Chain A
Amino acid sequence: MRRILIIDDEEDIREVAALSLEATAGWEIVTASSGADGILAAGNSKPVPDAILMDVMMPEMDGPSTFRLMQQNPELAGIPVLLLTAKVQGVDQRRFAGLGVSGVLFKPFDPLTLADQICEKLDWKD
């Protein structure tokens, strides 16, 4: 069973994403409400998550900053990260893609197809 870590400061987004991935794909979900807690959760998760779904705009440490910190940790650097953003401007999309993340997903997402979108971005065949 795949394990996904969701990092988002908004509780309703975490809840809907978790519900969606558990119910439609049967994946195991771990959540964190900040970048700092997300790094801790990823490190404490045994085994480490198969992927991380992370919000871009978060207070204190945003998604890109959290991603950069994760890349400095050998245990976490190999985990695919998908950024989740409500920004739709092309300049933002290009900036996020240039970070080296595995992909960008957009809010609002469709809860019925979120797992499919993740599989497509990560080239998972399940």
Chain B
Amino acid sequence: MNDADDKTASLLASLWQRNIPLVEGRLALLDRAAAAIADGRLTEELREEASHTAHKLAGSLGMYGYDEGTRIAREIEVLLAGDGTPDAARLGTLVAELRRAVFPAA
């Protein structure tokens, strides 16, 4: 890495710290969607919001070096975009995996 790359990486780490609450909020929304599916009360609005949220996570986590997070978020997006009611257990598992991929020490 040259000096510019070092500076970029350092600033990027700061931005990640600042955006952690945003990511946590997005994960919480996916939790809500999984719970709503399990309870049989998933609305189309919540499904769309969750799908859009997964899309945002897929498009952003890799910027911070969380490539596995992007992969799992993309899988969640596909699951939520499929026909029929998404599998609540599968979604719950994926969200838990995503959380571990992004916040391994939590």
- Please list the residues of chain A having a beta carbon within 8 angstroms of any beta carbon in chain B: 10, 12-13, 15-16, 19-20, 23-24, 57, 85-86, 88, 107-112
Contact = CB atoms under 8 A, between A and B. Distances in A.
B60 A19 contact: no
Contacts of B89: none
Interface in B10-38: 11-12, 15, 19, 22
Interface residues of B, number: 23
Given A86-B55, A108-B70, A112-B9, A12 B4 contact: no
Interface of B: 1, 4-5, 7-9, 11-12, 15, 19, 22, 55-56, 58-64, 67, 70, 74
B72 to A, nearest CB: 13
Nearest to B11: A19
A53 to B, nearest CB: 14
Given A12-B15, A12-B22, A13-B60, A23 B55 contact: no
A108 B56 CA distance: 10
B59 A23 contact: no
Q: Which of B1, B12, B56, B63 has the most CB atoms of chain A within a 10 A radius of its CB? A: B63
A111 B63 contact: yes
A28 B9 CA distance: 19
Contacts of B19: 12
26 contacts: A10-B56, A12-B19, A12-B60, A13-B59, A16-B12, A16-B15, A16-B64, A19-B12, A20-B8, A20-B12, A23-B4, A24-B5, A24-B8, A57-B55, A85-B59, A86-B74, A88-B74, A108-B59, A108-B61, A108-B62, A108-B63, A109-B62, A109-B63, A110-B62, A112-B1, A112-B5
